[in-house]
Amino acid sequence: MTDYRDDLAVAKAALKTATAALTQEIRAYPAPVAGCDAQYNHLLAERRRAQSALMALEAQIHIPTPRAP
């Protein structure tokens, strides 16, 4: 049985790989017309989603607990 930390590490690695691949694809994309190129904007949005997911996995979560039982 795997530990949940192993699964989180796999997910983080996959998101980092996806972000790097999207960044490379964006760099190789021909110069778009600003705001008019749907595919380019889609690549930017996908990279933003991958980065946001990675940040959510790496964020420290505060769970408030009552002071008295």
End-to-end Cα, the chain, rounded Å: 34
Q: How far apart are CA 23 and CA 48, in angstroms?
A: 10
Q: Minimal CA–CA distance to 10: which of 54, 51, 41?
A: 54
Query: How many CB atoms neighbour CB 61 within 10 A?
Result: 5
The pLDDT assigned to 33 comes to: 67
- Using the structure block, give the residue that is written with the tokens 């190129």: 37
Could you list the pLDDT tens digit for every one of the 69 residues in the chain? 679 899 999 999 999 999 999 999 999 988 766 667 888 889 999 999 999 999 999 998 888 888 876
**pTM given for the model:** 0.76
